Structure 1
């Protein structure tokens, strides 16, 4: 597929006007119109309504894919721009850190998209515990990390990938068990025995875990979601997370209750601010392109097709 056609199509979708799209691309309006016709002919379907200009259902789907493809192409061109002719350098693996379930379905979607775009680069996955919110990156143990909330560290740059409702996870014996359908409020969860984390856990992460509340009542120590759920199903602790947490950790005996008045929170892709590794840039571009397409839908529920 000719990327010029995709570029023209995406410009028309984003501008909502053939003339403005042509001006943005430094092309004539007839040239942009011809690009759209060629693309529709190649794909065998109508992509744009003409009056007013807006994408058809097929065009909506293609727009998401076009953003991903163009982002990957641009990142690849940047990568090749400075390559010398001295021969290929040794291939260094891209190390991906994932805290908990990362950014839900977006996590495997981004990793698989990168593997398709850069099949020659090995990918190493590292599961991060709660204390590694920042240190895995600053300690050079991973190159990119799916974390939450946003790190408060100038050495780290973080991009929003998903934004979701907050939940608490409690045992079936909890007084909040009856609220799993209608939801609870912050006042209801303030006295829960949330699990403890080690003292060197970043404060921004503990504030996120405890909703900024400080009841002084804490359960056993935990470093991973599995630790949390073990404490929950044995009746010793409560946990918190994003709504998608329930899809990934549906343990028997654990109930997931939405917290209606808690601010929605985001998951992030974090990288080292000073890192100029082209592979990191390519992965980041792909993840952000996918986030624009899938992020809002992840907040609504599971996306089975997103992981393929």
Structure 2
């Protein structure tokens, strides 16, 4: 697919005006109009309502997400190939065949996580991808100990050795047993003050402080039950057996809808984000495919993130 057509289409969508899009791209309005017509002809569907104002059709909305992903991948590819510029050829890379190791805490960034991994596999079919689950204590240690190359985590680490990109932002929830008196608030929700009385599961002492603050809504003195947990599955086991409650993001309910567990929104808790994390200023042997994976993930986050934040499962 011609990237020039995609650039023109995306510029019109973002500017809402053919003339402004043309000025942004240093093209004539006629050239931009021609690019859009060619793209619509190639796809066999109208992408824009000509207005005024100019706005995307349903097909155009979907295509805008694909355009962002494709253009981000092209930018990442150009950056990746910069080292070969002017060399007269592309020698074999010493990292060829080296797997990209992706760590995921819990369900990661909901539907965005598998979408990003699958998009990378399509873009880089020759690069092996190893996916591993991270427990609550591996919030940043898996990256810092070079056990993964990129990680889907929450919340952001308080460590300058880790760089993060915001992917999704969601409402907070608590998971309680169906028999709990708090389960009746599944529709109207709870307040942080109510949550303080709920016995939460415990985590090991070496769990990073940002993660414990996230789990207990910033209350280090939060009531703790007798159940320990290192993974969402262990949290849910504690919940459905009535031993402890857990906390998470709204999308948690879509991924962990266990019978006997009720998910209650916490109305006045600050919304929390999920992140893509990498090592900052990696002085070791950073994986050369990290920029490509990062670019694809951020492009998809712009497309899918708002849907996840609203609580709708992306199509």
TM-score with structure 1 setting the length? 0.94
Does 1:53 find its partner at 2:46?
A: no
TM-aligned CA deviation for residue 199 of structure 1: 1.3
Residue in structure 1 matched with residue 188 of structure 2 by the alignment: 182
TM-aligned CA deviation for residue 216 of structure 1: 4.7
> Separation in 1 of the partners of 2:152 and 2:128?
18
Residue in structure 1 matched with residue 313 of structure 2 by the alignment: 303
Segments ≥4 residues shifted beyond 4 Å: none
SS of alignment partner, residue 142 of structure 1:
coil
Structure 2 residue corresponding to 1:246, chosen from 238, 253, 262: 253
SS of alignment partner, residue 242 of structure 2:
coil
After TM superposition, the structure 1 = structure 2 runs for residues 24-63 of structure 1, keeping only pairs within 5 Å, are 24-50=24-50, 51-63=52-64
Residue in structure 1 matched with residue 289 of structure 2 by the alignment: 279
> Separation in 1 of the partners of 2:5 and 2:222?
59
Structure-2 change in CA distance of 1:289 and 1:178 (3 Å): same
**What 5-or-longer segments of structure 1 have no aligned partner?**
none
RMSD of the alignment, in Å? 1.5
Structure 2 residue corresponding to 1:259, chosen from 258, 266, 283: 266
> Separation in 2 of the partners of 1:273 and 1:114?
21
Query: How many pairs does the alignment contain?
Result: 305
**1:134-164 C-alpha deviation (Å, 9 max, x unpaired):** 1111111101100001111111111111111
**What 5-or-longer segments of structure 2 have no aligned partner?**
none
TM-aligned CA deviation for residue 192 of structure 1: 1.2
Decide whether the 8 Å contact of 1:145 with 1:269 is kept in 2: yes
> Separation in 1 of the partners of 2:172 and 2:41?
45
> Separation in 2 of the partners of 1:141 and 1:86?
28
Decide whether the 8 Å contact of 1:190 with 1:214 is kept in 2: no
SS of alignment partner, residue 299 of structure 1:
helix
SS of alignment partner, residue 255 of structure 1:
strand
> Separation in 2 of the partners of 1:163 and 1:138?
25
Residue in structure 2 matched with residue 110 of structure 1 by the alignment: 116
SS of alignment partner, residue 162 of structure 1:
strand
Structure 2 residue corresponding to 1:221, chosen from 213, 221, 228: 228
TM-aligned CA deviation for residue 302 of structure 1: 4.5
Does 1:201 find its partner at 2:207?
A: yes
TM-score with structure 2 setting the length? 0.92
After TM superposition, the structure 1 = structure 2 runs for residues 85-96 of structure 1, keeping only pairs within 5 Å, are 85-89=90-94, 90-96=96-102
SS of alignment partner, residue 76 of structure 2:
helix
